Amino acid sequence: MRPSSSALAAAATAQADTARLLATCPDRSGIVAAVSGFLHQRGVNITHSDQHSTDPEGGRFFMRQEFFLPGLEGCLDELARDFGGEVAARYQMKWSVVPSGRKKRMAVLVSRLDHALMDLLWRVGRGELHAEIPIVISNHQDLRAAVEAFGVRFEHVHVPEAADAASAPRGKSLSVPEERMLELLEGLPGGPVDTVVLARYMRVLSPAFVRRFPQRIINIHHSFLPAFEGADPYRRAAERGVKLIGATAHYVTGRLDKGPIIEQDVIRVSHRHRLDELKILGRDIERQVLSRAVRWHLEDRVLVDGNKTIVFA
């Protein structure tokens, strides 16, 4: 049975009146009480709360709260301003308040393999991921028809081998293809994208490009990092006779495959699996790991702690 229009409208209103508070600061006593007290004084209902301390003595404190307040949209800016002055400053917080109803705008970069891309497009279309995908960019033309069948804009940006950031000294400046990609990502109708997902994009991005999207570029690596970094890991895994293969989703940094890990998973294999079978199993687990990591990012469940992540999943 399809939900009625009134039920859908009620759900949309409830989501518009919901927001998320994310905060990290040096750990000390009284943080939870201060945050909860501030929200309580303003009639806010905290619907979900997570917190984590790396060390109660000298560590860092991480918090994620979801809260509801009728008419929140009209007073969110004032609420955030007061929180910054009354609570965040006192506890030296790095913090943000994010409206839950707003869909994040997500661009996808891909090369020729389509499994991760198609899974993201399908999940967004089904409403499983609270996002919109205004553009897919590829260094090949192969997937144009498949992407446009979803009603999504496809742009081809050719990346010559010589332009790969891996061949540039330290990747200090943008390559010409990266300049074109930034032009596309920042000039989209409806505004620039919030997040970039590398769905098996087989080119190295320069540190200069990555710095434009700090902790907002998610990569799926076809290996259980830190094992088998770089290219062709399934062949090398088969040659080593591994008993587990896996996938890793991580934020991209200026260091290749070294960014904070968001999600990982593995599947058991044996000597009976041929290389082509390992790749089929690997692509399936890549889809699952990437979709979970993207969903947690979209729902503001991931807080970065140096080169690690705190994931309130």
Question: What interhelical angle do 275-298 and 233-240 show, nearest 10?
Answer: 120
Give the residue carrying structure tokens 């498949």: 146
Strand-pairing partners, residue 197, are 108, 218
Residues 6+ apart with CB under 8 A from 127: none
Torsion of CA 225, 226, 232, 235, to 10 degrees: -90
* Residues belonging to the active site: 257
Q: How far is CA 19 from CA 42, 80, 84, 301, in A?
A: 14, 11, 16, 13
Strand-pairing partners, residue 266, are 246
Residue 171: HSE in the Cβ half-sphere, 13 Å Cα cutoff = 20
Q: How far is CA 118 from CA 148, 183, 184, 297, in A?
A: 11, 24, 21, 19
What residue type is 95 in one-letter code?
W
Contact indicator for 26, 60 with CB cutoff of 8 Å: yes
What residue type is 163 in one-letter code?
A
Within the chain, residue ranges assigned H as helices are 5-16, 31-41, 72-83, 89-91, 115-126, 144-148, 176-186, 207-210, 233-240, 275-298
3-class DSSP state of 288: helix
Residues 6+ apart with CB under 8 A from 163: 175, 176, 177
